[in-house]
Amino acid sequence: MRGTEFAELAAFLAVAKEKSFKRAAGRLNMSPSALSHTIKSLEERLGARLLNRTTRSVAPTQAGQELFDRLRPAVAEMESAVRDIGAHQTRPKGVVRINLPRVAAQLVVLPVLADFLREYPDVRIDLVIDDNITDVVAKGFDIGIRSGELIHQDMIAVRLTSDLRMAVVGSPAYFGRRSLPKEPQELRDHACVTYRWNETDALYRWKFDGSGGSVEVDVDSIVIANDTNLLLDAALRGIGLAFLPESLVAPYLESGRLIRSLESWCQPFAGFYLYYPNKPQMPAALRAFIDFVKLPGLPLPRK
C-alpha cells in the first residue's frame, strides 16, 4: 500500500469516528477543504460513496460502515505496535542479547543478575557463552563482553572490572608430587591443562612478564579444552597446572584447594569491558543494563 492510500484511509477513519469534517481536520492537523478532497479521492479510487454529507451532519454509508468496521481493529493494532515500540525507548522492556565468555558471565553478570531482574521485571536477558572473538553486530547481539585488549576501536566500550591477572594454579595433591615452579621455564617439566580457542584452534599462550622482560612458555598440555570450568575442575582434581584468571580461582586459593605459583610473573592486563556499536536510538532495556553493571568511578564510553 502506498503512503497516499494509507493517508486516505486514516482520513476516512477520522471523519467516520468524529462524524464531522471540522473535528476530524483538527485532529489530523489539516484544513477541512483538504480533508474533503482526500475523502473524495478515496471514494473515486474505491468506486463507492463512503460518507453521506449534509450541512449539519456526516454519517457513513453502508459501504463506509463496513470499511470502518474492518479497518478500525487493524489500525488499532498498528497504533498499539507503535506505542509498544516507543515504550522500549522509554521503559525498560524486552530482551537484551549478550555475547560473552564464561568467565565474564561468572564474574560480572551472574553476581548482579538477580538484583537487575528484580528492578526491571519486564526485561529478559539472553546470555550466549562464547569464548571466541565474535562479531556481535553481524551475529545479532545487542552487546558483547570481552577483555579490553580484544575490543575493536570502532566500538563504544564500558569498563566493568578493574584490571585482571592470570594465575598458575595446582592442587595440594599435585604439588605433593611435584615442586612449585620458581621460573616460567620450569613449567616445561610440569603437566598442564590448557585452553584452546574453538574458532582458531590455537592454544592459549602461557605468557609471563618479569624484570627481564616477557617470557612465553610452550607447556606440555596433557589436557586441552575450550571450557575454563573444565580446566579449573582438572586442576582441582590434581591432573595438572592451569593458567586461569585470578578472580576465577580466588575462592579456591583462599580455601586451600588450590596453590598458586609464579605470582610475581603474572602482571595485570585490561579487565572486562562491555562493548557495542554506536546506537543513536538505544533501547531503554539495554541502557538500563549498561548502567546497572558498569563499574562506578571509571571513565566510560570511548570510541
Domain boundaries, the chain: 3-89, 94-160+272-293, 166-265
For residue 219, what are the contacts with CB-CB under 8 A and spacing of at least 6?
187, 188, 190, 192, 194, 206, 241
Task: Give Cα 186 to chain centroid, integer Å.
Answer: 42
Class of domain 3-89 (CATH, top level) = mainly alpha
In this predicted structure, what is the pLDDT of residue 302?
39
Q: 133 vs 138, 150, 197, 223, CA distance in Å?
A: 12, 8, 9, 23
In this predicted structure, what is the pLDDT of residue 235?
97
Q: Does this chain's domain 3-89 share its CATH topology with 94-160+272-293?
A: no
152, amino acid identity: H
Instruction: Give, for 147, the enclosing helix (H) or strand (E).
Output: strand 143-147
In this predicted structure, what is the pLDDT of residue 5?
78
In this predicted structure, what is the pLDDT of residue 96?
93
Contact 32, 25 (CB under 8 A): yes
CA neighbor of 131 nearest in space, from 163, 162, 105 = 105
For residue 126, what are the contacts with CB-CB under 8 A and spacing of at least 6?
95, 96, 97, 98
In this predicted structure, what is the pLDDT of residue 89?
53
5's grid cell: 492510500
In this predicted structure, what is the pLDDT of residue 298?
40
In this predicted structure, what is the pLDDT of residue 295?
57
Q: Are strands 220-225 and 156-159 parallel, antiparallel or unpaired?
A: unpaired
pTM attached to this predicted model: 0.61
CATH of 166-265, one of 3.90.1150.10, 1.10.260.40, 3.40.640.10, 3.40.190.290: 3.40.190.290
DSSP states of 36-81: HHHHHHHHHHHTS--EEE-SS-EEE-HHHHHHHHHHHHHHHHHHHH
Class of domain 94-160+272-293 (CATH, top level) = alpha beta
Phi, psi (deg, nearest 5) at residue 141: -90, 155
SS3 category, 199? coil
pLDDT in tens, the chain (303 residues): 465 777 888 888 888 888 888 888 888 888 888 888 898 888 888 888 888 887 677 888 888 888 888 888 877 777 666 565 555 456 788 999 999 988 889 888 998 999 999 999 999 999 998 877 777 777 888 888 988 776 666 778 888 888 889 999 999 999 999 999 999 999 999 999 999 887 778 898 899 998 778 899 999 999 999 889 999 999 999 999 999 999 899 999 999 999 999 999 999 988 888 888 876 678 889 989 988 887 554 443 333
84-88, Cβ contacts within 8 angstroms, sequence gap of 24 or more: 88/283, 88/284, 88/285
